[in-house]
Every structure is written in C-alpha cells, then in structure tokens.
Amino acid sequence: MGAHLPATEFDGTAVDDQREADAEAVMGEPPAQMVQLLGPDGKLGLDPVFTPYAEKISPEALRGLYADMAAIRRFDVEATALQRQGQLALWVPLTGQEAAQIGSGRASQPQDYIFPTYREHGVALTRNVDLAELLRQFRGVSNGGWNPKDTNFHLYTLVLAAQTLHAVGYAMGIQRDQKLAGASGTPDTGQDAAVIAYFGDGASSEGDVHESMVFASSYNAPVVFFCQNNHWAISVPTNVQTRVPLSNRAKGYGFPGIRVDGNDVIAVHAVTEWALEHARQGKGPVLIEAFTYRVGAHTTADDPTKYRQSAEEDAWRAKDPLARVEKYLRSEGLADDGFFAKVKADGDELAAYVRRTTHDLETPDIRSAFANTYAEAHPLVAEELAWFEEYAAGFAGEEPAAAASGQPAAKAGH
C-alpha cells in the first residue's frame, strides 16, 4: 500500500482531477496521437474528428494547395540563389515545411490576423503578400517590406518568440472590441476573428512562449499557437528541447494540444480549420504542433552538415509533402501531366519576377534613417547627421549618392 500524502497539502486533489476531466470534456480535445490523413504513399486515411474538415477541400482547392507548395518551394530556391550571389544579406529557407505553412495559411480567413516568425514565406503567399516584398528586409533596404494592414499578415519578427506575446495581446484586443461592440449595439468588424502565432520548436523553450500561453489561457483569448517542429533549433535537436511531444504542454495551460503530421497538407488544413473555429467560438486557445522537418540549413549562414547526419535528411526527403499530394492527385485522376507542367512554368515565372524585382531594388538614402528617428527635428540627431555627412564627404572620388548611402561608387571603365 502506497504512502498517504498529507491531507493538509493535497486535500484538493480529487476536486482538481475532476476539474481537469471536466475541462477536457468541454474542450473536446481530439485524440493525443499524431493526426495524419494523407500518408507518404499518397493514400488518404480517415480520422473521426478531422475527416469531415478534409472532405470540405474540393479537388480544385487541393490542386491549389499543391500549386502553392510548389510555388513557395521554387521561390525558396530562387531566394537562396540570390543570397549566394550577393543580392541578399541572408536568407531563411523553408524547404520541407511547405505543407505546414500552406495548409495552415489556407485554413485561415481574411479577418484572422497572422503573426509570423521569419520563415513563414508560405503563409505570406496564402495571405497575398507580394513575395518580392519579403526580400526587402533580407536585402537590408527595409525594416519590413509590406503593410500588415493590407493582408492581416504581420511583419517578420526576428526576436525569437516575441511574436507570441504580440499575438496574444492582439487576440485580447479582439475580445475587448467585441465586448465594446456588444455593449454599444454597434457592428463589430472584428467579430469571429482569431489570431495565429507561428513559432518553432527552438522558440518553445523561450519564456515568452510560456508567458503567452499563460495569458491566453487566463483570458480565454482567441489565438492558435502554431509550432512548426522542424526538429532542429539551429544545431539543437528537439529531443533536447523537450522530453515529451510539444503538443502535450497545452494541457498544463488548460487548452487543447494537437500534434499533426506537418508534411500532410490535408491534415494540417483540417486541424487548423478546427482550431480556428474553436478560437472564434470563444472556446479559447489551441496549440498545434506540426511535426515536420527543416531539410535545408537554418539560414544561409548555417552548415547543417556540422550537426546532423545525411541519412536523417534522406529519411525525411522520403516524406516530401509535395510528392505525397502529387501521388494522390494522379492516383485519383484529379490532375494530369498538363497540370504539373503548368505549375512548374508558373513557378519559373514567379522566380523570374522575384529575381528581376530584387535586382531593381534601390538602396535608400541613409539620411532617411536620421529623418525617421523622431517625429520632429532633434538637435542630437542633427549633430549625428552632420558628423556622418562630414565622414561620407571624406571618400574622395565618390558620387554624392554613393557616399551618402555608405555604398562604394562604381569606378569608370569597370
């Protein structure tokens, strides 16, 4: 017989156990195992909770999901090439994570607001962000590149996990707008809106993520936490980040956690649609762990051969998210060679556009950085600008524009 725990310290255990059971029943938490609908063999399976959501994806929409994944992979290849050729200062590849991003992004609605990290190029595509605009920041000619108000897709966040706090704050703002609208009897433009916060398995170890989930749970905020577990936080594997599936952490905060095959675009779409509905209906937050893999480097400044085996990469390439959708489309007679040829041609056209636009980007006059520091003129900034202009003028033989921008001017005959 086991030792009896002191009643004075634990006499509320039965109540807490019942409370947890009641909470799980109310949340309608899906099964704990990983959700997969479309396997690597291209065969579609069944799930009692998510198959009804998958069945709403029409053949045309499924072809669209494949086209989006192919387009963003082609874009990723082109952006990597541009960085290698010196046109970008840095690039953050996404190859291998296409299904996680396209599936979740396409499951969102226009009124939903998205908070990305710095790798959500596929989500940006689904939100109609001009992909060439993404490259402004990586070329170093802009602090952002697009207006978030146009697409409800926030600027990239380079500070690890900070966007999760922003997302919860925004979601709490939605709640308050709805309450104010209800109290005044006026229409609420934010009604039935939710927020998605993207982050990686490495960022899950940051305190910001913990604080975000505490606040989201406490205030029942309409936010979906979308963790792309790509197995590597730069050079640290996931099994060092956590001893249990990341989705299990949601239980500690009192909301549903779902692990989904992040290389299965159909399952990702279904799970995200379910989660967003859950949030919009006032049932609180959801954590989605998309179990996927970063096939390439963390950034173009990284060398993954230093910390992982090529056999591991090969094993995940066999689970390629595009290949499994192509197998399904072909086996079901939903797409033919003509469709896939057009997808490839469209990808090449996108790559050409991105390359052309990147080459045409102009380096802004650095004086604008001084002008935009304060709303009004400031003597200290004026002093610093005068110093810089004197410094720039010291480069003999340079054109004024080149000197002011800090860029060396091209010499005649070269």
| Catalytic residue annotation | 294, 298, 307
Tokens of 15: 């109540």
Which residues make Cβ contacts (< 8 Å) with residue 139, sequence separation at least 6? 87, 88, 89, 358, 361
Tokens of 48: 């009692």
Tokens of 139: 């070329």
**207: phi then psi, degrees, rounded to nearest 5:** -60, -30
Strands across the sheet with 223-229, in order? 113-115, 195-200, 223-229, 286-291, 257-261
| Count of beta carbons in the 10 Å neighbourhood of residue 147 | 11
Q: Dihedral (C-alpha) 120, 126, 130, 136: value to the nearest 10 degrees?
A: -10
Which residues make Cβ contacts (< 8 Å) with residue 271, sequence separation at least 6? 30, 35, 50, 53, 258, 260, 288
Angle between helix axes 207-218 and 162-184 (nearest 10 degrees) is 20
Q: Which amino acid is at 167?
A: A
Q: How far apart are CA 413 and CA 31, in angstroms?
A: 69
| Count of beta carbons in the 10 Å neighbourhood of residue 402 | 16
Q: Which amino acid is at 255?
A: F
Task: Return the beta strands (E) in 132-285 as ranges.
Answer: 195-200, 223-229, 232-233, 236-237, 257-261
Which residues make Cβ contacts (< 8 Å) with residue 351, sequence separation at least 6? 74, 75, 77, 78
DSSP β-bridge partners for residue 348: none
First to last CA, the chain: 88
